[in-house]
Amino acid sequence: MDASPIRAPWRVAAAVALVCCAAASCTATAPEDRQDSGATARAVVPMTVGDLQSQYQRVIRQVLPSVVQIQASHELGSGVVYDGEGHIVTNAHVVGSEKTFQVTTANSQAPLTAHLVYSYPEQDLAVIKLDKVPAGLRAAVFGDSEKVEVGQIVLAMGSPLGLSSSVTQGIVSATGRTVSEVPGGGTGATIANMVQTSAAINPGNSGGALVNLAGQVIGIPTLAAADPELGGSAAPGIGFAIPASMVKTIAGQIVRHGRVTDSGRAALGITARTVVDDRYRPAGVAVVSVRPGGAADKAGLRPGDTITKVGDRPISTVTSLAEALAADAPGRKTSVTYQRGGTEKTVEVTLGEQ
């Protein structure tokens, strides 16, 4: 299955089983009744359609003013107000290589100008800043990604197809997804721990908000799955969002330091290419160069070695190597199996940082 960041195809990799399979509760509780024994009884009253609709509307009124439309020369996307100083977080593939943008807020009558603070394509995140902060600009509240559960009702807010301040509804379908870009566009990122949702994600939604019913942003919608059997068109009900914890980590560093100082992403410290066997099937990753002092260098890997396994994960392509590293962390030890001169060898590697 493929996944697309609005304009580029992306591939869904293996799902990491880090999900909690508890469905969101659609109940409301009545006031507690005190009994003579001192015990507390709690009556559970089902939530009505009207109650749920009112909750949707409250969340939309609360969060939509924090979701903006971003217009670059050749790209249209969305963004989320990060703080009251005018910082806006979005996707790196929305900003591309541009430095200035036109931003439309839910309440603005005319576009506002903004400039790029920093783009981090490795995680497909970027921060831009309004040149002039309008009165009443409202920062979004970011939730705790660890508390996101399968079955929770979520709303996707953004500017799909240029329709600003649009809202779609769905559930959290899965968590812990690792998604990788396939050749042909986008930033080339491999992103771990993404939130999968059934809320419709369309061109222009990238960089917007995936919101729970508490009014918290739990992710930044980034990718829509594409079905090869449908000619690469979007597969309904399969979209992916960068988790809020990752957004806060990367955006927070950009706001404080003007760049990313701690990626939290594991690296071997090599450049590499995919190699094929005599049947032209991917058969491993050849080491093209080794960064002096990096993890691979310290472990004794050399140009010309062909990596076939990291830990217990078979490695056949550069993408599968990126996915294996995305699932790990800097400083951890793992084994790397490789071929050198027709001989298979295994070494222990302490992973570095990207």
131 among known catalytic residues: no
Which of 233, 247, 221 is CA-nearest to residue 5?
221
DSSP secondary structure code for residue 23 in this structure: P
Give the strand pairing for 125-130 and 87-90. antiparallel
Which of 317, 146, 305 is CA-nearest to residue 219?
146
Active-site choice (206, 305, 316, 328): 206
Q: How far is CA 327 from CA 157, 265, 323, in A?
A: 28, 9, 6
Beta-carbon-side half-sphere exposure of residue 305 (alpha carbons within 13 Å) = 21
**In whole angstroms, what is the distance from residue 62 CA to residue 271 CA?**
46
Those residues whose C-beta lies under 8 Å from the C-beta of residue 129, and which sit 6 or more positions away, are 85, 86, 87, 88, 114, 115, 117
DSSP secondary structure code for residue 279 in this structure: T
Those residues whose C-beta lies under 8 Å from the C-beta of residue 187, and which sit 6 or more positions away, are 5, 92, 93, 121, 122, 124, 181
74 among known catalytic residues: no
Active-site choice (78, 119, 124, 173): 124
**In whole angstroms, what is the distance from residue 171 CA to residue 167 CA?**
13
Active-site choice (93, 145, 165, 328): 93
Residues recognised as catalytic? 93, 124, 206
